[in-house]
Structure 1
Amino acid sequence: MNAKPIRTALGLVAGLAAASAMADEPRTLTVYTYDSFVAEWGPGPGIKKAFEARCGDCRLEFVALSGGVDLLQRLRLEGEDSAADLLLGLDMNLMADARDLDLLAPHQADLSRLALPIDWDDPVFLPYDWGRFAFVYDSEALPNPPKSFAELLAAPDDLKVIIQDPRTSITGLGLLLWMKRVYGDEAPAAWEKLNDHVLTVTGGWSQAYFSLFMNGEAPMVLSYSTSPAYHMAVENTERYQAAEFAEGHYLQVETAAMLKSSEHPALARDFLDFVLSPDFQRHIPLGNVMYPAIDLGEERPAVFDRLIEPESFTFSPEEVQAHRREWIREWLNASAR
């Protein structure tokens, strides 16, 4: 008896079975983002549930990195071999560097739904939230916080603040740009004065806010003007507030972007369309504790009406790209003195 036809037939059956099994497997969309986004209390779990209910036959998988700067570095290292389909967490200060890698695809989303404090028409980077950098203070430990950078720099040295490193942290980079926007060529001298008040410089926001500030290590921490919303809505306390600085505050817009190398481009663009829907955006105000990128109407928590509304400003992404290393060197030199 010739066993070859039998083996061939069995091979065909096994191949068809494997193909059928693969067809039955849900499509997996891999999203690189930052750790606080996917935390139990963050927006990630709710967004995952909502999107998987929408697509029906897919699975959303988050890969948590330490922050936006780490996202950019991972994208640069992995290049076209990246396992990611999408990135969530590159803010406008990193956009120009990410664009130059030529690894990202147009989002093709309807931008008419956006409700931002600035105009936005970028074809690659899709906003999903925005906020303003601010110093959050403990009103029990610091009942009379500084009302400007000038007051902070002139305060007694025993007023301590916690900040983040601009080389590794989006918020740290935000402070760097905020100081440069306010002080210009005088920024190095301003940094020297601020350094007298810095208790420590952390690698990221979570360590600064939760591990140190919330444990009473210092009465002020670099964060966002929206941070008090979480404490007011979830913890029912007004103890933690954002100091409004007379010089104005630096604006941040966080974005989503799709990789050209995505194995599921149609599904990735479906997710980007989902980003500007209420089903995604309703998780932003108290999950990511930022302003939503669209008008949520009555769905936006009422505590957001009690936040400070300072004047705000930015540099363009191209200006940040051109000067970021130079301005980081200024900060490092001032910190060493």
Structure 2
Amino acid sequence: MLKIIHLFLLLSLILFATDKPILTIYTYDAFASSWGPAPKIKEVFEKEHHCTLKFVGLSSSIGALRKIQLEGKKTKADILLGLDTSIASVAKKTGLFLPYEINNTTLKLPVTYSDDTFTPFDYSYFAFVYESDRLKNVPNSFEALVSMPKDFKIVIQDPRSSTAGLGLLLWVKSVYGDKASAYWKRLAPYILTITKGWSESYELFLKNEADMVLSYTTSPAYHIVEQNNTNIKAAAFKEGHYGQIEVAAVLKSSTHKELAKIFLDFLHTQRFANIIPTTNWTYPVVKTTLPKAFNMLYLPEKMILMDGEEVASQRKAIIDEWLSAIQK
């Protein structure tokens, strides 16, 4: 009997010694999906750091932030990944995230980036995407967009739940300023629907429900690489294009803070940079050799980007202005 007890204790010690820490990452559904970056990141990081990565995909990164806020200090999340600079300042004010200094010298971004909490990992530019076989008269500006035939329809995302949706509001605000409300009233008849997140709206576009969808200048790369389809394109707008820099941060409540910090460092490695272009279909934030398909993409000359603090202070007013305009 004593030998059995000793054997049980020995087996328990072995199991305990080999138990791997679980790093839980809240993110948006496309990132965590089987065709997104998560599976390849999981494979590489787990092998290097003897741990388990658990990606929890929500309908949007804003939804992931709200889930963390509801859970508070009891959240199981160690990392929030997928917010962008437009909403990061709002997230910081919750006091839930751990300060973390990044090495800016390794970054290759179209704009200067500096933050003491959120680490950038990829970027792209917002654009209206279309299929060239179906749409021959392609709008090349916001003004051209509201001059399309009455049966022309677009799909956009809700700025209250989607970083892409918020990005469009900031894009319009950057171009039209105090005349943004008037522009939204002109655009409203062309909006087929407003979805909660990007995935739903892009699916509608692919089903030919709408002529254009709010997406990214890099979205066509997916169709080129995976489908050998060069008909999906991003419309180049004369006014310029608003940028999106996606970021990640560690929760103060994390029980694996050191491992979580190692993961943030991993976001700036070549291993991570090589995964991002053909899984998240965006640009990595460090220099790497991009797939040839990216040479076929429209690349804006500069990135329009409002300061994060400015967005935080004006966000509610901008959203309220939009709601009032499209509901009338």
The TM-score, its normalising length taken from structure 2, stands at 0.95
Matches within 5 A, 1:151-190: 151-190=144-183
Counterpart position of 1:72: 65
CA distance in structure 2 between the aligned counterparts of 1:54 and 1:107, rounded to whole angstroms: 22
CA distance in structure 1 between the aligned counterparts of 2:226 and 2:137, rounded to whole angstroms: 24
Matching residue within 295, 299, 316 for 1:309: 299
Counterpart position of 1:54: 48
CA distance in structure 1 between the aligned counterparts of 2:4 and 2:114, rounded to whole angstroms: 56
SS, match of residue 53 in structure 1: helix
SS, match of residue 95 in structure 1: helix
Q: Confirm or deny: 8 A CA contact 2:101 2:115 kept in the other structure.
A: no
Amino acid at match of 1:307: L
Amino acid at match of 1:309: L
The answer to whether the aligner puts 1:103 opposite 2:103 as a matched pair is: no
* Root mean square deviation of aligned Cα: 1.9
SS, match of residue 127 in structure 1: strand
Q: Confirm or deny: 8 A CA contact 2:124 2:217 kept in the other structure.
A: yes
The answer to whether the aligner puts 1:35 opposite 2:25 as a matched pair is: no
Matching residue within 296, 319, 327 for 1:328: 319
Q: Confirm or deny: 8 A CA contact 2:129 2:216 kept in the other structure.
A: yes
Q: Confirm or deny: 8 A CA contact 1:162 1:221 kept in the other structure.
A: yes
CA distance in structure 2 between the aligned counterparts of 1:258 and 1:109, rounded to whole angstroms: 13
Q: Mark the structure with the bigger radius of gyration.
A: 1
CA distance in structure 2 between the aligned counterparts of 1:99 and 1:12, rounded to whole angstroms: 51
Matches within 5 A, 1:228-247: 228-247=220-239
Matching residue within 264, 271, 274 for 1:279: 271
CA 62–115 in structure 1, closer or farther in 2 if over 3 Å, else same: same
Matching residue within 258, 267, 274 for 2:259: 267
CA distance in structure 2 between the aligned counterparts of 1:336 and 1:120, rounded to whole angstroms: 36
CA distance in structure 2 between the aligned counterparts of 1:292 and 1:312, rounded to whole angstroms: 15
Deviations 1:195-244 (A, max 9, x none): 1111111111101002x100111110000011011111211111110001
How many residues of Structure 1 are paired with residues of Structure 2 in the alignment? Answer: 327
Q: Confirm or deny: 8 A CA contact 2:164 2:198 kept in the other structure.
A: yes
Q: CA deviation at 1:11?
A: 9.1
Structure 1: which 4+ aligned runs deviate by more than 4 Å? Answer: 9-20
Deviations 1:297-337 (A, max 9, x none): 3xx11111221122321111111111111111111111111
Q: CA deviation at 1:111?
A: 2.8
Deviations 1:91-148 (A, max 9, x none): 1011111111112113344332111111122121111000110000111110221000
Counterpart position of 1:319: 310
Q: Confirm or deny: 8 A CA contact 1:107 1:123 kept in the other structure.
A: yes
Q: CA deviation at 1:286?
A: 1.4
Counterpart position of 1:3: none
Deviations 1:29-55 (A, max 9, x none): 111111100111111100100101111
Deviations 1:169-200 (A, max 9, x none): 11111111111111111111100111111111
CA distance in structure 2 between the aligned counterparts of 1:76 and 1:111, rounded to whole angstroms: 29
Identify which range, 146-155 or 15-24, moves more after superposition: 15-24
Q: CA deviation at 1:153?
A: 1.2
Matching residue within 130, 133, 138 for 1:137: 130
Matches within 5 A, 1:13-28: 18=12, 20-28=14-22
Q: Confirm or deny: 8 A CA contact 1:95 1:317 kept in the other structure.
A: yes
Where in structure 1 are there 5+ consecutive unaligned residues? 1-5
Q: Confirm or deny: 8 A CA contact 2:111 2:303 kept in the other structure.
A: no
Q: Confirm or deny: 8 A CA contact 1:135 1:223 kept in the other structure.
A: yes
Q: Confirm or deny: 8 A CA contact 1:108 1:269 kept in the other structure.
A: no
CA 196–117 in structure 1, closer or farther in 2 if over 3 Å, else same: same
Matches within 5 A, 1:202-221: 202-210=195-203, 212-221=204-213
Amino acid at match of 1:48: K
Amino acid at match of 1:146: P
Deviations 1:55-106 (A, max 9, x none): 1x21111111111211221221122221111111011011111111112113
